[in-house]
Amino acid sequence: MAVVTGASSGIGAATARALARDGYFVVVGARRTDRIDALADEIGGRAMYLDVTDPASVERFAATLDTVHVLVNNAGGAKGLAPIAEANLDDWRWMWETNVVGTLRITKALLPALIASGDGLIVTVTSIAALDTYDNGGGYTSAKHAQGVLHRTLRPELLGKPVRLTEVCPGMVETEFSLVRFEGDAERAEKVYDGLTPLTADDVADVIAFAASRPPHVNLDQIVIKPRDQVDARRNIRTG
């Protein structure tokens, strides 16, 4: 049984499909229940409302799950693109609450069920923004760094327990990510991917499904996946 957070679009939805294709019963969580209901119907899984920033929602979600083999911490995203001097504190709070504290909440809540499975796997979708910084991205890069540190700290803490940990760090993936970052400005969001070929959500989902398909003694610690057209968080084929 697998759980995917933030499964209503992008990488989360694609990962739910990939894990279902590989034979997992998948529980999909997100706030937009119309979308996850349709996805659960399509893949023969179960949809449950989940807001990772709401302790009561996480508690209700976790209470229905006794045994979990795979947890994909995918819910997250960015808001805004501004220099530190002009940082919007509400945007920062949203990014920290969703990516960092949200991941902590759901991981903590499902840890007993992951251990109970006898062969658990926690996949956390951080970003290349968890490994590097870029101008105007401080709110997102700091949140993704913190999320990565949280995930990496769990690895030694769980040594001796039957739980593997895989961090997946994607570069540019064309999803609703930029639409959310720019508060629904579709034109600005599309420009992010102008003149280059970004990853698709399926490209990342395939890698997550591969990690989940390894035998219990094999731990893929960290996987960095970028488009060929992107070198790092600052340089791509367009910017040179």
Residue in 164, 227, 212, 229 with CA at minimum distance from that of residue 19: 212
- Cβ atoms of 177 and 78 within 8 Å: the answer is yes
Q: How far is the CB of 102 from ligand NAP (least distance, A)?
A: 6
Catalytic residue among 24, 49, 134, 140: 140
Q: Report in angstroms how near the CB of residue 101 gets to ligand NAP at its nearest.
A: 10
- Using CB under 6 A as the binding rule, whether residue 98 contacts ligand NAP is answered as yes
Per CB under 6 A, which region of 17-25, 27-35, 84-92, 210-218 contacts ligand NAP? 27-35
Beta bridge partners of 72: 4, 123
Contact flags string 132-161 toward ligand NAP, x per CB under 6 A:
------------------------------
- Residue closer to ligand NAP by CB (options 31, 93) is 31
Whole-number Cα distances in Å, 117 to 69, 113, 176? 6, 6, 33
3-state secondary structure of 100: helix
Residue of 45, 207, 25, 44 whose CA lies nearest to 117: 25
Q: Where along the sequence are the contacts to ligand NAP (CB under 6 A)? A: 5-12, 30-32, 50-53, 74-77, 98, 102, 125, 127, 170, 172-173, 175-177, 180, 201
